[in-house]
Structure 1
Amino acid sequence: MKAMVVSDTHGDREILAKILDHFQDQVDAFFYCGDSELPASDPLWQSYYAVRGNMDFDADYPMARVEHVKGFTVYETHGHRLGVSMGTAKLEEHAQAVNADCAFYGHTHALEAHMNGPLLVLNPGSISQPRSYQQYGGTCAVVTMAATQAAVTFYDRALHPIPELAQSFAR
């Protein structure tokens, strides 16, 4: 599975359209981890698996979702209701309860990736309002999952890979 993960655009619809256009033939799925501030009826969401963030006031967004892509299970949420600002333990519990291979979240605007056993936990950072690695103008991530390995490539706002932030994990 190869997935684009993006979060926390806060009204910046243009970057979501740019990401979709740039990566549409390169990934199997697009995940959006909340705080778009766009209506849930926006046509962009026909291409992204999107969840509701604390700044999304449209109740038609799901708070969390479980998706199956190319044999992998993804648990996705914004994370604000799971206390991700204080750590990812609750997020990981929710993901493990559905036997997820990946747990994608946003909210903190700070990128991070780690493994908890076979579970990849990923925050792509914010593509529009980063709180970490601001020199890149924002970040998003491509996750490549295989049976024995998980790889994360972070991209800057210009959609160039950031090699020094790339991570690879054994599963």
Structure 2
Amino acid sequence: MRILIVSDSHGEEALLNRIVKREEADHVIHCGDFCTDQSRLPAVSLTVVRGNCDWEPVPEEQQWDGGAWRFFVVHGHRHHVNSSLLSLRYRAEKVGATIACFGHSHYPLCEQSGNILLINPGSITQPRGFAVPTYTVLEDVDESRVSIRYFTPSGEVVTERGGTFSLKPAQK
């Protein structure tokens, strides 16, 4: 399974659509701050949450089961991700997620905490604290490992982020 994870596109729907088309993912996760009408989001298999700059009536958080993994998706502002990831991790644990996707900080991050993989794809338009805009592609390696790769909006690999992570499948 190939999953595209993006965040903080801030109204750049043409750029978002180009990325979605190029990556040909089985599913797309948008972690909020899409800042456009929901009807203008890509017409693909999509999980989307509302960020602090969004006005559309989409959920504040969502869970999505993809393959062996349960994803917990939020924007992150209500979990105060700019100061700590602890609240996000606890909420992901509570809902039985193995992968927590979030945005808000515009900073690409991928780290494992116990059996939870925390992923911030960065921002495809306005990076903060990182040299280039980014998004993430997650792919199953096998039933217990996932590969995370970061890319620039033009499709170039960002080698200083990502990796392969071992996780126990979600209890569903």
Common topology (TM > 0.5) = yes
1:30 aligns with 2:25: no
Task: State the SS of the aligned residue for 2:54.
Answer: coil
RMSD of the TM alignment (CA)?
Answer: 1.6
Paired with 1:101 and 1:115, the residues of 2 have a C-alpha distance of: 10
1:103 aligns with 2:103: no
Task: State the SS of the aligned residue for 2:52.
Answer: coil
Task: In structure 2, list runs of 5 or more residues that go unmatched.
Answer: 168-172
The CA deviation at 1:46 is 4.7
| Equivalent residue number for residue 153 of structure 1 | 149
8 Å CA contact retained: 1:120, 1:150: no
Give 4+ residue runs of structure 1 displaced > 6 Å after superposition: none
The CA deviation at 1:76 is 0.1
1:170 aligns with 2:166: yes
Q: Pick from 115, 130, 135: which aligns with 1:140?
A: 135
TM-score, L = length of structure 2: 0.89
The CA deviation at 1:84 is 0.6
The structure with the greater share of residues assigned to helix is 1
TM-score, L = length of structure 1: 0.90
What is the number of residues matched between the two proteins? Answer: 166
8 Å CA contact retained: 2:13, 2:41: no
Paired with 2:67 and 2:146, the residues of 1 have a C-alpha distance of: 14
What letter corresponds to residue 4 of structure 2 in structure 1? M
8 Å CA contact retained: 2:99, 2:119: yes
Q: Which region of structure 1 is more displaced relative to structure 2, 141-150 or 99-108?
A: 141-150
| Equivalent residue number for residue 6 of structure 1 | 6
What letter corresponds to residue 15 of structure 1 in structure 2? L
What letter corresponds to residue 164 of structure 2 in structure 1? S
Task: In structure 1, list runs of 5 or more residues that go unmatched.
Answer: none
The CA deviation at 1:47 is 3.5
> 5 Å matches for 1:5-154?
5-24=5-24, 27-44=25-42, 46-58=44-56, 60-134=57-131, 136=132, 138-145=133-140, 146-154=142-150
Paired-residue identity, %: 28
8 Å CA contact retained: 1:28, 1:69: no
Judged with a 3 Å threshold, the aligned counterparts in structure 2 of structure 1 residues 37 and 43 are, in CA distance, closer, same or farther, namely: closer
